[in-house]
């Protein structure tokens, strides 16, 4: 009995010295109001413009972590800070269980602590990962008249060619690809068009903490090619004229909780840079290196995983996050979608083959709280991409590729209707899908038809008014004139938004013809013109 007691005590001692992952959440942000008053210290002008278009206010989530809080945790003996999130007001730390728990009693600004291993504390939430990036499978000028070559079927299946023919090829749209690495993107001929037109705007390797993002696993290179790859007469991505940020957050060798925190960091960076669409062919559920970190199906509620909580905030900032549903559809132990695809407002994409049949590996919904997932489908079985080695089109399988194929067309669609919000864009796409009225657990709402979606949004009668409106002068000084036929002015409303997204002036009806703007402070404003369900937004400068 004494030997047994000694063994138990010894094991408990070892547990106390084992290195654990945890998130330390702070109570507040004392400096938030200072940052909010100077928004360009937090976000780019492009990011602020995106907020203004969608009438999204700045809030404390946009402010950085309190520096003094961060530094005190960072300088604590026995604690290693590995990542941080302003959106969730938290830092990702490693240390012994005892040292991490001691942070809550040592610092009054610590709100709570969540261990990646849920068994360590009653208030812990788990952070797990199944790399829908297909970790298992990995071991596997505006042109609108394209010769799609091998990518023809995966584009035409969605009627992406219809958008391209209208000139909506992603030009002016910013897409962030969050993935496992981008080797050879800086050298392959298939990405020369992106390089020559300065469409790769930048990036970062969050895993290595390096500015060299042309490194890591080739999965990200393959993913990017389905959106922006181009080989004349052989291959075209779904948004060949979009601009890109490339972020590596996935360590393809290891499956650890830190990767979720790095993903949230990258999403925050994408938001600050004014990104419109994020593609994430990543997911985290029940395949960690350490099984104690794994999620259960009950955790697939869009609110439990750290990455899901971060993604939810990202959508609330006005971005569209397109995420692979996962490749576990025929896995006996786990067949479900993976966070962050479980978030209600994240656009989760499953996979079909070239004949529109569901791919057997495509993960199932619904979420644990019984919401429809995936949202939509695109070709992911036998999908064509650019090989990172040969630089030629090859076929591969996975929702890792149906997701970016979809993301590119989503960006083209939003280019066509920039005044719709991110949530409106996603809903229009869902409504165009072939199973919208009869969704299933594996197909969700089915395969979208972007030509139908375009026709639904475009109302000739409502849109025609905007062809007859003239707004001048710009820059404005003391007055602004809106010139249009009287019958049109009777049915419109205008709103001026300042850089913080606040309405500072409103007019409606014939009162909109000549507007006194002398009371407005000098700066940048957005003028939103509304008629019925349609809107147009114009950027104005007040001298």
Q: Which amino acids are annotated catalytic? A: 179, 219, 400
**By CB neighbour count within 10 A (0-12 exposed, 13-18 middle, 19+ buried), where does 240 fall?**
buried
Cα 249–chain centre separation: 13
Rounded CA-CA distance 487/269 in Å is 45
255: left (phi over 0), alpha (psi -120 to 50) or beta: beta
Contact 132, 325 (CB under 8 A): yes
In whole angstroms, what is the distance from residue 104 CA to residue 137 CA?
Answer: 42
CA-CA distance, 238 to 435, in Å (whole number)? 23
DSSP string covering 255-309: --THHHHHHHHHHHHHHHTT-SEEEE----SS--SSGGG---GGGTTTTSSHHHH
Judged by DSSP in three states, 400 sits in helix
User: How far lies 253's CA from each of 131, 149, 217, 427, in Å?
Assistant: 11, 34, 9, 37
The CA distance from 314 to 268, in Å, is 7
């Amino acid at each position: 009995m004494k030997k047994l007691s000694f063994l138990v005590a010894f094991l408990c001692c070892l547990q106390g010295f084992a290195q654990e992952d945890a998130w330390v959440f702070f109570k507040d942000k004392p400096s938030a109001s200072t940052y909010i008053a100077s928004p360009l210290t937090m976000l780019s002008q492009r990011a602020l413009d995106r907020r203004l278009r969608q009438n999204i206010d700045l809030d404390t989530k946009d402010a950085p972590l309190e520096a003094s809080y961060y530094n005190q945790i960072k300088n604590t003996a026995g604690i290693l800070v590995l990542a941080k999130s302003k959106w969730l007001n938290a830092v990702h730390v490693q240390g012994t269980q005892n040292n991490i728990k001691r942070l809550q009693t040592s610092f009054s600004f610590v709100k709570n602590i969540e261990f990646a291993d849920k068994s360590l504390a009653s208030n812990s939430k788990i952070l797990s990962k199944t790399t829908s990036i297909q970790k298992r499978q990995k071991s596997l000028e505006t042109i609108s008249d394209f010769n799609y070559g091998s990518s023809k079927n995966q584009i035409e299946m969605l009627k992406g060619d219809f958008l391209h023919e209208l000139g909506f090829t992603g030009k002016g749209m910013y897409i962030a690809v969050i993935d496992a690495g981008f080797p050879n993107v800086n050298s392959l001929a298939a990405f020369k068009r992106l390089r020559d037109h300065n469409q790769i705007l930048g990036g970062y390797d969050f895993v290595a903490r390096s500015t060299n993002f042309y490194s890591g696993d080739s999965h990200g290179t393959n993913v990017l090619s389905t959106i922006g790859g181009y080989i004349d007469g052989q291959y075209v991505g779904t948004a060949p004229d979009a601009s890109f940020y490339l972020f590596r957050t996935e360590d393809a060798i290891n499956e650890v909780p830190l990767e979720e925190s790095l993903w949230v960091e990258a999403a925050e960076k994408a938001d600050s840079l004014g990104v419109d669409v994020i593609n994430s062919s990543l997911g985290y559920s029940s395949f960690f290196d350490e099984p104690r970190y794994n999620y259960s199906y009950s955790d697939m509620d869009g609110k439990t995983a750290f990455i899901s909580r971060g993604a939810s905030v990202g959508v609330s900032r006005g971005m569209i996050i397109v995420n692979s549903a996962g490749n576990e559809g025929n896995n006996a132990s786990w067949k479900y979608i993976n966070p962050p695809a479980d978030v209600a407002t994240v656009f989760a994409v499953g996979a079909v083959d070239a004949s529109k049949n569901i791919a057997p590996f495509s993960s199932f919904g619904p979420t644990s709280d019984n919401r429809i997932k995936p949202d939509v489908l695109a070709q992911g079985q036998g999908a064509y991409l650019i090989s990172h080695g040969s630089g030629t089109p090859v076929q591969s399988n996975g929702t890792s590729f149906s997701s970016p194929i979809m993301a590119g067309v989503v960006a083209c669609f939003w280019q066509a209707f920039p005044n719709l919000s991110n949530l409106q864009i996603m809903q229009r796409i869902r409504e165009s899908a072939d199973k919208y009225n009869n969704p299933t657990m594996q197909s969700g709402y089915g395969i979208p038809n972007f030509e139908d979606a375009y026709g639904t949004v475009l109302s000739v009668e409502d849109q025609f008014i905007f062809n007859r409106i003239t707004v001048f002068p710009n820059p404005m000084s003391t007055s602004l004139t809106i010139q249009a036929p009287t019958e049109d002015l009777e049915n419109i409303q205008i709103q001026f938004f300042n850089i913080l997204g606040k309405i500072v002036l409103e007019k409606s009806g014939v009162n909109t013809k000549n507007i006194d703007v002398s009371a407005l402070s000098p700066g940048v404003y957005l003028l939103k013109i509304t008629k019925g369900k349609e809107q147009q937004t114009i950027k104005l400068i007040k001298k």
